[in-house]
Structure 1
Amino acid sequence: MPAAQATSITVDGNLSDWGLHTNGNINDWTASTSLGATLKSAIDDVYISPNGYLNPGYGGQAYDAEALYSFSDGTNLYVALVTGLNPKTPTNPRQNTYGPGDLAIDFGNNGSFEFGIQTTGSDKGNIYQNVSWGLGLWDVNGRETRLSGLAADPNLPTSIIDGTGNLVGAAILEYNNNAIQNMGIYSGNHYVLEAAIPLLAFSGFSGEFVLQWTMNCANDAIKLISSLPEFGSTTHNSTSIPEPATLALIALGMLGLTASQRKRATALLT
């Protein structure tokens, strides 16, 4: 997969350009302020016993959503996610295994989650608008909905339901299945997702948004709140480096296509 060059970020699964490290100390999780004022982060790395409690569900390190970062250079929204979930984990409820969910973006922080970015499969990186979401096994209050007779919680969207939404662009996305260790003070495997999402895909949307991710069971979820100007604004501190012209043409050519082209199946409770 080609790497995406920004002012200081390469989308390759290596977090050193975010200022993140694997030195075995708590500061490993602190991103570099040199990325500018648009840098936002959410960090939730805690000790978890095997199959232990997360929030809102259980599953231990293997289902831990540990940290989420974002910043924008005026051309792209860059995202980095650190999780204990291997991207190759299958969704097989009979075997009690659940794979990764998709990145969800909610402009206005009103629970709408208008945009989704596919994180795995042959169509990973595709950006969809007005999608329908699969929902997990838990609600935000930590209740297992299928056992409690409760409706699944729309505040914990998991994966884009196949065949819904409009394809509005393509992100460069890498979900690295090579585990890293020694990040932070607790042991365990960590997996990295990085993405460069063109702001052009969010045409007509600006202001505050929620960026959220969870796995298909919603055992653990992580989110951050940030904001974006209209595409093309020059209010950011860092220098913009546009995507290659070919990528821009591809993104424009994809506008208006529907998500029915996707082959990925979503095995979730709704």
Structure 2
Amino acid sequence: MRKIMILLISLIICAGNALAYTIDGDLSDWGVDLISAFSGSDSAWHPAQSSVDFSIEDNIHPDNTGCDWTGYCARGYHTQTEPKTNGYLEPAGGEASDIEALYFDDDSSKAYFAIVISMPDSGYTDPWGRHYDPGDLAIDLDNDGTTGEHGYEYGIKTTGADKGQVCFMPEWSLPQSGIGLPDNAPSTMSCSRDDSVVMGTADVSYVDTGISDNGFSNYVIEVSVDRTFIGNPRASELSELHTTLTCGNDLVEINDFEWDYDVPEFSTIGAVLVLAAAVIYIKRRRK
């Protein structure tokens, strides 16, 4: 009986294809070594799991005003040079506006995201008294730029009183046009349109890593969200991710990534549970 129950529990666990990401701002479970990464190791930015899609843009150091290196990876790796926006090479505001990396992975029940950023959740005020805040996470689930504002049908709040809020068809704000780069829209969201729907709450952690880069601390925004809150994406479905700042001085995106898992059919999990109940019933009858 004990062996049978262990087998049944194993089947239930396997049915979920669960990953072991802890939402605590520590990226070691992604296989990312930020201490080595910020010490100059390019490979330390790369996650250990082959299932992870990621974009690395730790690209501008204000001390030398040049590109150190940038890379985008979706099961592979190639270098890229970030284009100029309105004549500015990003991040236009220097290290304080640098978004270093974005990571994505999924299992059959959840989606996982991680952002490495140089701005605290309280935002940053520059020497001229202008205040900027981190943006929210925008998801273009159907890879169709005509659905949702700016093409993003889902959003997840990364900061503030509504941190973790998941919204379908959010109202997206543009980066501040007077002091930023609105071309890098959208930045922050509110679930305030007539057709907006609050889908649920994601688990969001915004953590100071204690690692300094060019005089600024670095932070990790780590997110876990139920797939049912973001439209139940199917395996191999193409989607896009985007995040920027309220000034738009930098952005990071993952384009045309594929979901790895389907949401498990109830019949699959239900069959295992029914089998478990039957075994327990038979065992009790024998007693």
1:55/1:221 contact within 8 Å kept: no
SS in 1 for 2:254: strand
2:172/2:187 contact within 8 Å kept: yes
- 1:195 aligned partner: 223
Q: How many residues align?
A: 214
AA at the equivalent of 2:119: L
- 1:216 aligned partner: 246
AA at the equivalent of 2:62: S
List aligned pairs for 1:75-114, cutoff 5 A: 75-89=109-123, 95-111=129-145, 112-114=151-153
List aligned pairs for 1:56-71, cutoff 5 A: 56=90, 58-71=92-105
The 10-residue stretch of structure 1 (202-211 or 73-82) with the greater mean CA deviation from structure 2? 202-211
Report the CA distance between 1:132 and its aligned residue: 1.4
CA 1:202/1:229 → structure 2, altered by over 3 Å: closer, same or farther?
A: farther
Report the CA distance between 1:51 and its aligned residue: 11
Find the aligned partners of 1:51 and 1:163 in 2 and give their Cα distance: 43
Unaligned runs of 5+ in 1: 1-5, 138-144, 235-239, 241-270
Q: Residue by residue, what CA displacement relative to the aligned partner does 1:72-105 show, whole Å, maximum 9, x if unpaired?
A: 011111001001111111589x821201110000
AA at the equivalent of 2:48: S
Find the aligned partners of 1:166 and 1:177 in 2 and give their Cα distance: 31
Bigger relative contact order, structure 1 or 2, given CA contacts below 8 A and separation 6+? 1
AA at the equivalent of 2:160: G
Report the CA distance between 1:191 and its aligned residue: 0.7
Find the aligned partners of 1:47 and 1:90 in 2 and give their Cα distance: 18
Find the aligned partners of 1:75 and 1:203 in 2 and give their Cα distance: 12
SS in 2 for 1:200: helix
- 2:154 aligned partner: 115
1:31 to 28, 47, 64: 47
CA 1:76/1:91 → structure 2, altered by over 3 Å: closer, same or farther?
A: farther
1:40 to 32, 53, 61: 53
AA at the equivalent of 1:42: S
* Root-mean-square deviation (Å): 3.2
Report the CA distance between 1:110 and its aligned residue: 2.9
AA at the equivalent of 2:42: I
Find the aligned partners of 1:48 and 1:101 in 2 and give their Cα distance: 21
AA at the equivalent of 1:95: G
CA 1:57/1:66 → structure 2, altered by over 3 Å: closer, same or farther?
A: closer
1:65/1:222 contact within 8 Å kept: yes
Find the aligned partners of 2:202 and 2:89 in 1 and give their Cα distance: 28
More helix by share: 2
Is 1:232 aligned to 2:266, yes or no? Answer: no
- 2:185 aligned partner: 156
2:104/2:112 contact within 8 Å kept: yes
Unaligned runs of 5+ in 2: 1-17, 67-87, 146-150, 270-287
- 2:278 aligned partner: none
2:60/2:98 contact within 8 Å kept: no
Q: Residue by residue, what CA displacement relative to the aligned partner does 1:217-253 show, whole Å, maximum 9, x if unpaired?
A: 110000113223785148xxxxx9xxxxxxxxxxxxx
Q: Residue by residue, what CA displacement relative to the aligned partner does 1:33-54 show, whole Å, maximum 9, x if unpaired?
A: 2xx43x1000011242169687
SS in 1 for 2:43: helix
- 2:206 aligned partner: 175
Report the CA distance between 1:176 and its aligned residue: 1.1
Find the aligned partners of 2:219 and 2:239 in 1 and give their Cα distance: 25
TM-score, normalising length: structure 1: 0.69
TM-score, normalising length: structure 2: 0.65
